[in-house]
Amino acid sequence: MIRELFFNQSSDSVCAFTTERGAVDRFDPYSGFNCCDYTGDTSQHVAECRAELCHRLGISDNDLLTARQVHSANVAVIDHGILQSDANDRRERLYGFDALVTNIPGIAVGVFTADCVPMLFADMRAGVVAAAHAGWKGTAYHIATATVDEMLHLGASVEDIQVIFGPSICQSCFEVGDEVVDMFERHGLPIGEIMERNHTTGKAHIDLVGANTYLLLEKGIRALNICDPGLCTKCNHEKFFSARRLGINSGRQLNGVFIR
Binding site for Zn ion (CB under 5 A): 170, 173, 232, 234-235
Are 71 and 102 in contact by the 8 Å Cβ rule? The answer is: no
- Least distance in Å: CB of 126 to Zn ion? 35
Alpha-carbon torsion 142, 145, 148, 154, what sign? Answer: negative
Q: Which is nearer to Zn ion, 21 or 234 (CB)?
A: 234
Provide the minimum distance between the beta carbon of 169 and Zn ion in the complex, in angstroms, as a whole number.
Answer: 6
Distance (Å, whole) CA 258 – CA 44: 25
Minimum CB–partner distance for residue 233 and Zn ion (Å): 7
| Nearest residue (CB) to Zn ion, 66 versus 242 | 242
Nearest distance from C-beta of residue 104 to Zn ion, angstroms: 36
Closest separation between CB of residue 12 and Zn ion, Å? 32
Pick 79 or 175: Cβ nearer Zn ion: 175
How far, CA to CA in Å, does 95 sit from each of 2, 74, 188, 239, 251? Answer: 26, 10, 28, 28, 19
Nearest of 69, 222, 72 to residue 139 by alpha carbon: 72
Give the residue with the Cβ less far from Zn ion, 74 or 236. 236
Q: How near is the Cβ of 26 to Zn ion at its closest, in Å?
A: 18
CA pair distance 231, 85, nearest whole angstrom: 36
Query: Angle at Cα 246 formed by Cα 240 and Cα 252, nearest 5°?
Result: 45
- Looking at residue 172, the DSSP 8-state letter turns out to be T
CB closer to Zn ion, 170 vs 208: 170
Q: Quick one: 3 or 222, whose CB is closer to Zn ion?
A: 3
* DSSP class of 95: B
